[in-house]
């Protein structure tokens, strides 16, 4: 079994760039939030919106970027959920339009097997200067080769997301979950969780795949 998570708003209880923008004042924070919400809703081209946000934050120090990334709250229930799934033999992938500076920690803190995300670029003075875009709005393109490598069937894949830019992941899975999602995701998902508590997903998975799917394997 394989579960694929979005990161910001799903595994992390935060949106990174708006919080980072707080270091530049309330007007900058509002600007970044406005673009972020447009992208999550699917109102603008996601890649264009991401580049606009990063461009607006040029000059922020690496130290601030790293400190804020490390401070983002893990979503309530994420550690319990991931521990239970890992114990039951699930593979776990995180795919994010965000950045390695916030996603790398998920390997150690949640046991995520493979993570796909973008990379912020800093100049020689340690100031934000751009982005290395590796994950686009077609997040499914990032994970297909891993699914093939692991030999996992569509009927054994679950996707958990919140935003419109995640929707192409739905084509990979037999069971799709909107986690506190925007309206378009809510309409298209097989199931919806409206509370910030990822342990609620365990009951859904048990109903869908049977109790044995979420019970720890014994040696």
Q: What is the pLDDT of residues 91-100, one digit of tens each?
A: 999 999 999 9
Q: What is the pLDDT of residues 107-120, one digit of tens each?
A: 999 999 999 999 99
Q: What is the pLDDT of residues 154-198, one digit of tens each?
A: 999 999 999 988 999 999 999 999 999 999 999 999 999 999 999
- Sequence-distant (6+) residues with CB within 8 A of 43 are none
For residue 126, give the 3-state DSSP assignment.
coil
| Residue 18 confidence (pLDDT) above 70 | yes
Q: Is 153 exposed, middle or buried (0-12, 13-18, 19+ CB in 10 A)?
A: exposed
Distance CA 176, CA 3 (A): 10
**Cβ pair 111, 83 in contact under 8 A:** yes
Distance CA 137, CA 42 (A): 10
Task: Sketch out the chain's domains with CATH numbers.
Answer: 2-13+74-214 (3.40.50.1000), 16-71 (1.10.150)
pLDDT of residue 217: 61
pLDDT of residue 166: 93
Q: What is the pLDDT of residues 32-88, one digit of tens each?
A: 988 888 877 878 888 888 999 999 999 999 999 999 999 999 999 999 999 999 999
How confident is residue 12, by pLDDT bands cut at 50, 70 and 90? Answer: very high
Chain-centroid distance of CA 125 in Å reads 29
| Residue 216 confidence (pLDDT) above 80 | no
Helical residues (DSSP H) of the chain, grouped into ranges = 16-21, 26-41, 46-56, 62-71, 78-87, 100-103, 105-110, 139-150, 183-188, 200-209
Cα–Cα distance list, 169 to 50, 101, 122 (Å): 19, 23, 30
């Amino acid at each position: 079994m394989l579960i694929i998570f979005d990161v910001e708003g799903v595994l992390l209880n935060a949106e990174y760039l708006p919080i980072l923008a707080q270091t530049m004042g309330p007007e900058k924070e509002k600007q970044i939030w406005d673009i972020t919400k447009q992208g999550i809703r699917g109102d603008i081209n996601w890649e264009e919106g991401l580049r606009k946000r990063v461009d607006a934050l040029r000059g922020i120090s690496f130290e601030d970027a790293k400190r804020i990334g490390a401070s983002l709250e893990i979503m309530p229930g994420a550690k319990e959920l991931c521990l239970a799934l890992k114990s039951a033999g699930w593979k776990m992938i995180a795919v994010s339009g965000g950045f390695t500076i916030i996603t790398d920690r998920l390997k150690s803190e949640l046991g995520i097997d493979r993570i796909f995300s973008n990379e912020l670029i800093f100049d020689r003075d340690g100031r934000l200067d751009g982005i290395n875009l590796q994950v686009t709005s077609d997040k499914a393109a990032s994970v297909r080769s891993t699914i093939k490598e692991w030999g996992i069937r569509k009927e054994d894949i679950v996707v958990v997301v919140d935003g419109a830019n995640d929707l192409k992941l739905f084509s990979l899975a037999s069971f799709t979950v909107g986690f506190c999602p925007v309206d378009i995701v809510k309409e298209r998902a097989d199931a919806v969780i409206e509370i910030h508590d990822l342990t609620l997903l365990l009951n859904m998975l048990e109903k869908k795949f049977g109790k044995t799917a979420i019970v720890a394997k014994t040696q």
